[in-house]
Amino acid sequence: MKFLDQAPRFLFFTGKGGVGKTSIACASALELTRLNKRVLLVSTDPASNVGQVFGIRIGNQITNVAEVPNLSALEIDPQAAAQAYRDRIVGPVRGVLPDAVVKGIEEQLSGACTTEIAAFDEFTALLTDGALTQNFDHIIFDTAPTGHTIRMLQLPGAWSGFLEDGKGDASCLGPLAGLEKQRTQYKAAVDALADPLKTRLILVARAQAATLNEAARTHGELAGIGLSKQYLVINGVFPESETVHDALAQAIFDREQAVLANLPDALRDLPTDQIGLKAFNLVGLAPLRQLLAAAEPAVPTAADVPPGAPPISAPSLASLVEAIAREGHGLVMLMGKGGVGKTTLAAAVAVELATRSLPVHLTTSDPAAHLMETLDGTLEHLTVSRIDPHEVTEHYRAQVLASKGAKLDAAGRAVLEEDLRSPCTEEIAVFQAFSRVIREAGKKFVVMDTAPTGHTLLLLDATGAYHRDVARQMGSSGRHFTTPMMQLQDPRQTKVLIVTLAETTPVLEAANLQTDLRRAGIEPWAWVINNSVAAAAVTSPLLQARAHNELREIAAVATHHASRYALVPLLKDEPIGMQRLQLLSKQGA
């Protein structure tokens, strides 16, 4: 594999959700330990599953992987990091300042922005603290820093004086004030990231236009801020040998080859590796060791695969929509790991509702969404929008500058403008737009395609913080009030559909998401298992083996995780356009 040739000390794997970053990062760690290198594998993903892949509990401390000499792992826990960060900021003033002031500081540090900053804090220590990582030859990061992260690391440190002068309270000045002490460490981290002798960035994608376009966008954004040494890995490529006498296999192969022949221009000159689709789940040491093996593992033959069975029968997506439609209006949110098909399913749900002459607003909070391409047309009763993070953030900045900025002198306004360039400002702006859309659900159906799981949870965290603030202010007045969080918690108003694939890791991540939602008082209404091979008719031995592997996961969802569910089969034709989206929702009945 080119991306592991003469590997530098730091390796970062990034890409759209669901492309296999974690599996490839874990397999790379095993390959380097085979070469007698001492490796630390780090996940910076809020929805990390490195421990699940190895079948062990890792957590927020460096843990030896007992079965693999020279391998240790660490999952940066954003919540634990945030608590440690809060303790570090609040600890010195507790007992010194009045309790009311301390409580106000704690409330200011309770939001999602603090969680993000704290995770960055731990991440940068691994890049710059020689004593912390001196025992390792290589440090592999599953989920690389995005341009969003780098901008946070590069923020200037003018907030302390602004706060001391009492000139403002915009966005997240409280947590940002704590960054001043870390600026030297952050600069060293950015320098290490930009040094090709120290750092290599591996863009992971599938042979799908959406994931390759995301890789191209990430390539440009990170190259523009100094991370120039990049490689491309295209994972899960379907083998031509499996296309014989199987129309679905042939369609998948043809679709992928057409995409590979038209790579985005930004990716064409990158050193590139392809990894073939495997018949087995990539959980456990044996499968991971085969993933990057020089000799490809044998593709199953008909004799290796359990006797064929007809496609599994299960409730269709249309059966769920039928129950949703009876309410007449409400919010329908599709959530889940990136790459499971939330955008397509959100479009299918919206189209199915609209064909029943029900008013529907289909929207997305996913920065990488492609709703219009999926719909490929218009439909009566259906309106479409996108919460554009850049657009709503610019609008929010203009509002703040026009109100609070009008009262400041030139120096104060300059600091306010700097603060409004922080990623936390985007969080607040997106939350406000999210809240406006929620209010529409009182009169019509609002179907929301959300961003990948970790970002969705940050948005819910902001929603919860707003709810707590309103409840505190209004509680003593006795006045009636409703917050977005209260609407999300009311099953009569909001139905959350968790989307997953019939594979071990996506189902585990979906179960973890369900736990997080329940902790926030939100009970998921249904699960949707997407792109199921077991629900399709296949003759390819590789696809039959994958279908057989799916049965256990489908049973787990149906009998353990979900109160209701639907199964959507993998289709020969991509579900793009109104007619195919309608057909998709009725498949599997």
Residue 22 · residue 43 · CB < 8 Å: yes
pLDDT above 90: residue 140: yes
The residues, ordered by sequence, that sit 6+ positions from 344 with a Cβ below 8 Å of its Cβ are 374, 530, 575, 581, 584
pLDDT above 60: residue 368: no
Same fold yes or no, 8-80+127-157+180-291 and 317-586: yes
**Tell me, what's the pLDDT at 294?**
61
- 341 burial (CB, 10 Å; 0-12 / 13-18 / 19+) is buried
pLDDT above 90: residue 415: no
DSSP symbols for 439-472:
HHTTTSEEEEEPPPHHHHHHHHHHHHHHHHHHHH
pLDDT above 90: residue 5: yes
What is the average per-residue pLDDT within 302-308? 53
pLDDT above 50: residue 167: no
Tell me the C-alpha distance between 354 and 372, whole Å.
16
**Tell me, what's the pLDDT at 453?**
46
The residues, ordered by sequence, that sit 6+ positions from 298 with a Cβ below 8 Å of its Cβ are none
**Tell me, what's the pLDDT at 330?**
93
Q: What is the CATH T-level fold of the domain 8-80+127-157+180-291, as seen in this structure?
A: Rossmann fold (3.40.50)
Residue 112 · residue 427 · CB < 8 Å: yes
Q: What is the torsional sign of CA 509, 511, 512, 518?
A: positive
Q: What is the CATH T-level fold of the domain 317-586, as seen in this structure?
A: Rossmann fold (3.40.50)
Catalytic positions, written as ranges = 18, 20-23, 45, 505
Nearest CA-CA partner of 223 in 266, 188, 261: 266
Tell me the C-alpha distance between 209 and 204, whole Å.
13
Residue 500 · residue 340 · CB < 8 Å: yes
Tell me the backbone φ, ψ of residue 263, rounded to 5 degrees: -60, 145
Task: Please state the pTM of the whole predicted model.
Answer: 0.77
pLDDT, the chain, mean: 80
Which band of pLDDT confidence, cut at 50, 70 and 90, is reported for residue 560? Answer: very high
**Tell me, what's the pLDDT at 570?**
92
Q: pLDDT tens for residues 66-113? A: 888 999 998 887 777 777 777 877 888 888 878 877 776 776 666 556
Tell me the backbone φ, ψ of residue 584, rounded to 5 degrees: -60, -45
The domain locations on the chain are: 8-80+127-157+180-291, 317-586
